[in-house]
Amino acid sequence: MAEAIVFYGLAALILGFAVLVISTRNTVHSALYLVVNFLLVAMLYVMLGAEFLAAIQVLVYAGGIVVLYLFVVMLVNLKRPPETHQDPRRQTRLGLALASALLAELAAIIVYSATGESAPAATAAAAAGADIAGGNVEQIGMLLYTNYLIPFEVASMLLLVAMIGAIVLAKREL
């Protein structure tokens, strides 16, 4: 009973701070609400017994992503009026081609996931419970590098593209 109360309390707080993130007009306050939201999600992971995911949530999201978000907010001048002309260097066809390639890749991942094997040894071992040597981290590692290798690589490619985009935005002249 107490676990259910804590779960629903955390869920309500997470939803409340998520609404504050998108409804606040000040971008720095929005980033701070996002940090609190990520920390509450980490608390939810701890409550569910996934301590490794909670640590990764705090380190990667609450630490790195929010710092990157604040860095981009400080780089972009929000007081500047919108541009009135079209940039001649904009490469619309290349952007559409890359977006189409990304959609095709996501479709391939969905087809691969639907036709892939549904109950590998790592998932069966995870269902067995606490008698598994290595625990939570080993199970995550096995699943990440066997069943979820393609989504893991896609996520790394997306992070690489985001980093290149941040560098291009930060640089004044190409």
Q: Which domain holds residue 22?
A: 1-78
Number of domains in the chain: 2
Are residues 69 and 164 in contact, defined by beta-carbon separation less than 8 angstroms?
A: no
Return the structure tokens found at 2. Answer: 């107490």
What is the per-residue pLDDT across 61-70, written as a single tens digit (0 to 9) for each?
Answer: 877 777 777 7
Q: Give the separation between CA 17 and CA 72, rounded to whole angstroms.
A: 21
The reply to whether 64 and 118 lie within a common domain is no
* pLDDT at residue 122 is higher than 50: no
List pLDDT tens digits, range 3-53: 899 999 999 999 999 999 999 888 788 888 988 999 999 999 999 888 888
Q: Compute CA distances 29 → 20, 25, 73, 76, whole Å.
A: 9, 8, 12, 16
pLDDT of 64 reads 79
User: Is 83 a member of any domain?
Assistant: no
Verify that 74 and 131 share a domain, yes or no: no
